[in-house]
Amino acid sequence: MLGQTTIAVGIATILTANVWGALLLLFSTNHIAYPHAFSLAQNVLQLTVGPGKRNAITLVTAMIMGAQVVLLVARGRRNSRINWGVTVMGGGTLWLASRFCPWVTIGRLVPKLSQLLQFPVRLTSVAFPLMLCGLASA
């Protein structure tokens, strides 16, 4: 079975060489248009009471996420490892997207990140499904 998997990976690599080869060439030699650098600290998740926006989490959503963490801690060892893992990863990603993460310091230590990531609030597209998956499996 391992041999067949290795052969399948090799065939897939050869058949997709025109795509990843072009991407490797493009990313190694592209010096034409760098993305604009944004302040990481100004593009984080904010808490709002009104209707939600792209860079805001509503109070109700924050309460649901908090309830998931409370439920996880209250049930303790009765939760599965998957529930713990999904909730911890979702909570960590949500923390990274929020203003509680030291984005000023991170931006100063890794300046290239302000061009690559640009908007830490984008991490909520990973955090919300993980947290809701943890809530569903509780």
pTM: 0.69
In the chain, where are the structural domains located?
Answer: 1-33, 36-136
Q: What is the DSSP letter of 112?
A: T
Q: Is the pLDDT of residue 119 over 90?
A: no
Q: Which range (8-17, 28-37, 91-100, 112-121) has the least confidence?
A: 28-37
